[in-house]
Amino acid sequence: MAYIMVDVESDGPIPGDYSMITFGAVLVNEQLDTTFYGKLRPISEQYIPEALAVSGFSREETLQFEDPREVMLQFDQWLKAVCKDRPIFISDNNGFDWMFICWYFHHFIGKNPFGFSSQNLGSLYKGLERDTFRNFKHLRKTKHTHHPVDDAKGNAEALLQLKNEFGIKMKL
């Protein structure tokens, strides 16, 4: 199974009422050179300007982005191309990122290739360190820019660092 590190930027706190604006995914391997980037047209009239501002795009720009169904179909095809079997979803805030990706997959193409579960990088780190107050973010090499591919890559770097430091068994 292949680990896919995902990061989402949105214009509000929940899917449906608000929109996923961009997302990035990185196949977790030593090279971290297999990525996906999606820019999705809003699905709702509602948005929170401060939330949208994090993405770096204006509302007018997002209205020119791709049809969400097409982006999710492209992401599904990308996953099939880079994963030999079921992909494993992992992110640094899987409660948020998973919520959007899962909802968009089911809403727009009727299935989620990740299945029904996700992994949380922060929780993994806390467990390895045996300290619920520890934070993994110092392990990133790529700067956290809120461009979702950069952020997913930085998180994937942290996961690889954990794999090496703690001897985590992962098929890459």
Radius of gyration, alpha carbons of the chain: 16
Q: What tokens appear for 13 in the block?
A: 């706190």
Each residue's pLDDT tens digit in the chain (172 positions)?
899 999 999 999 999 999 999 999 999 999 999 999 999 999 999 999 999 999 999 999 999 999 999 999 999 999 999 999 999 999 999 999 999 999 999 999 999 999 999 999 999 999 999 999 999 999 999 999 999 999 999 999 999 999 999 998 887 7
Q: Return the pLDDT at 169.
A: 86
By annotation, the residues acting in catalysis are: 146
Domains of the chain listed by start with CATH number = 3-166 (3.30.420.10)
Contacts of residue 127, Cβ cutoff 8 Å, sequence gap at least 6 = none
Return d(Cα 167, Cα 24) in angstroms, integer. 27
**Would you call 3 helix, strand, or coil by DSSP?**
strand
Q: Return the pLDDT at 170.
A: 85
Q: Return the pLDDT at 171.
A: 79
Return d(Cα 159, Cα 59) in angstroms, integer. 33
Contacts of residue 4, Cβ cutoff 8 Å, sequence gap at least 6 = 25, 26, 27, 28, 79, 82, 83, 87, 88, 89, 90, 114
**Would you call 139 helix, strand, or coil by DSSP?**
helix
Q: Return the pLDDT at 64.
A: 98
Give the global pTM. Answer: 0.97
